[in-house]
Amino acid sequence: MNATRIAVVDDDDLFRESLSQNLADAGFSTECYGDGPGMLREIGKSGVPDLILLDWKMPQMNGIEVLRNLRRRNIEVPVVFLTVLSDQFYEEAGLVEGAVDFVEKSRSFSILLRRIELIIRGRKSRDQRIASGQSPQVMTVGDIQLYCSSMRALWKNIPIGLTVTEFQMVECLVARAGQDVSYRELYDVVHGEGFAAGAGDVGYRANVRAFIKRIRQKFRDLDSGFSQIENYPGFGYRWSEAGAS
């Protein structure tokens, strides 16, 4: 099986080389670029990478401009921003433009690696379901549209800045609209099946509730009347089919 290909785009030579080596040691195939225009010239010549790690602040063209260029060309590869900017404004801006995650450069490589594994695992699972006809490339239920391969979400045609984990939870609920989904199932979306969760037999529930609270707030920031995610007390959540087309 071919190694997962990751493109690293960063103008900091030392950081780029160090990250590339860590990724190679972890079993990934890497391709590195010192600026956005260079990557945009080369991307697609030998196939699109599986994931792009993109610096936010670069000369000539910043990360947001690179991402917008990719999306205009209908290149839906998952993009993770790497940045020293910790303000929530930057995170929200990146996610709204179509990135799947936002990781500060100060975080350890193990944290970044975990994020990458979640994204790659989720995308491969989606690609397998799409190839087998079990899942559409675009899932539409009522006013929500989910672009499953690139993990982008739109509510009433407006992009929602969901992280990869938040997208996976929403996708799990939307795919089973009108059905109850347990806390455990939603937790497994985040950590993988069988993960030892929290304190006690149901310690993971607080974790799921925190995720759902944040997801709801993101929808309500766009639409104050949003009420599609309903709670089934003691069991989990459901995506309401009310208003579904």
Per-residue tens of pLDDT for the chain, all 245 residues: 577 899 999 999 999 999 999 999 999 999 999 999 999 998 877 778 989 999 998 988 999 999 989 888 878 788 888 888 766 667 667 766 767 778 888 888 988 898 888 777 766 555 555 555 555 578 899 999 998 777 789 999 998 888 777 888 899 999 889 999 999 888 877 655 544 444 445 557 877 888 899 899 999 999 999 999 999 888 999 999 764 43
SS3 193: coil
Whether 165 and 118 map to the same domain: the answer is no
Q: What is the pLDDT of residue 119?
A: 77
pLDDT tens string 175-231: 889 999 999 888 877 655 544 444 445 557 877 888 899 899 999 999 999 999 999
Domain presence at residue 64: yes
**Model-wide pTM > 0.85:** no
Domain presence at residue 138: no
Whether 156 and 201 map to the same domain: the answer is yes
Residue 235 belongs to a domain with what CATH number? 1.10.10.10
Domain presence at residue 210: yes
Whether 73 and 175 map to the same domain: the answer is no
Please state the domain count of the chain: 2
Check: CB of residue 77 under 8 Å from CB of residue 70: yes
Whether 121 and 225 map to the same domain: the answer is no
Residue 40 belongs to a domain with what CATH number? 3.40.50.2300
120-129: Cβ within 8 A, 24+ apart: 120/4, 120/50, 120/51, 122/151, 122/164, 122/168, 123/50, 123/78, 123/149, 123/151
Phi, psi of 133 (to 5 degrees): 80, 10
Whether 179 and 112 map to the same domain: the answer is no
Whether 111 and 24 map to the same domain: the answer is yes
- CB atoms near residue 222 (< 10 Å): 15
Check: CB of residue 51 under 8 Å from CB of residue 6: yes
> Which residues span the domain enclosing 79?
5-128
Which of 95, 128, 161 terminates a domain? The answer is: 128
Check: CB of residue 54 under 8 Å from CB of residue 9: yes
Whether 21 and 75 map to the same domain: the answer is yes
Whether 95 and 166 map to the same domain: the answer is no
Sequence-ordered strand ranges (E) for the chain:
5-9, 29-33, 51-55, 79-83, 101-104, 138-141, 144-147, 152-155, 158-160, 181-182, 229-232, 236-239
Whether 116 and 157 map to the same domain: the answer is no
- CB atoms near residue 106 (< 10 Å): 9
Sequence-ordered strand ranges (E) for 122-219:
138-141, 144-147, 152-155, 158-160, 181-182
Domain presence at residue 133: no
Whether 32 and 87 map to the same domain: the answer is yes
Whether 158 and 111 map to the same domain: the answer is no
